[in-house]
Amino acid sequence: MILDGWFYAGAVIGILSAIICIAATIFRDHPADSSILSLAAIELYLGVYAIYALVSPVPINGPGWEFWGYIITAMLLPPIAFFWGITDKTRWSNLVMAAIGPTILVMIHRLQVIWHG
């Protein structure tokens, strides 16, 4: 299995987002702007990753519906957590947003496995 720069960039963004959101859970009583911005960073990364996947050459046994299902699902998670965060005005909404970073990390790893076969 090949873990390339896309995986490592996603790992850094996902871990930093989780750390920011956990810190916001500890220190804030309401959703923090930093938590919301960290979700925006994840969504931006996923958008660029999806565009890259669309325009890059497809491997011999190319990714199928499973690959695109993972990308679409991954791109839906940050907006869902964002809307949770803006509607639930408690500290726990930061913790919900913190779960997105590690979840995306796992999904990006799975995308790498599917893409590289």
Number of other residues whose CB lies within 10 A of the CB of residue 46:
23
Q: What is the DSSP annotation of 5-23?
A: HHHHHHHHHHHHHHHHHHH
Considering only CA atoms, which of 117, 5, 111, 113 is closest in space to residue 53? 111
Question: How high does pLDDT run on average in the chain?
Answer: 88
What span, in angstroms and rounded, lies between the C-alpha atoms of 69 and 72?
5
What pLDDT is stored for residue 60 in this prediction? 57
Considering only CA atoms, which of 34, 39, 12, 37 is closest in space to residue 23? 34
Task: Answer yes or no: is pLDDT of 85 > 90.
Answer: no
Q: How much is the pTM?
A: 0.88
What pLDDT is stored for residue 117 in this prediction? 67
Looking at per-residue confidence, does 59 or 30 come out higher? Answer: 30
* Overall number of domains in the chain: 1
Task: Answer yes or no: is pLDDT of 5 > 90.
Answer: no
Per residue in 32-71, pLDDT (tens digit) is 889 999 999 999 999 999 998 888 776 656 667 888 898 9
Q: What is the CATH number of the domain that holds 106?
A: 1.20.120
- Structural domain for 64, as ranges: 5-116
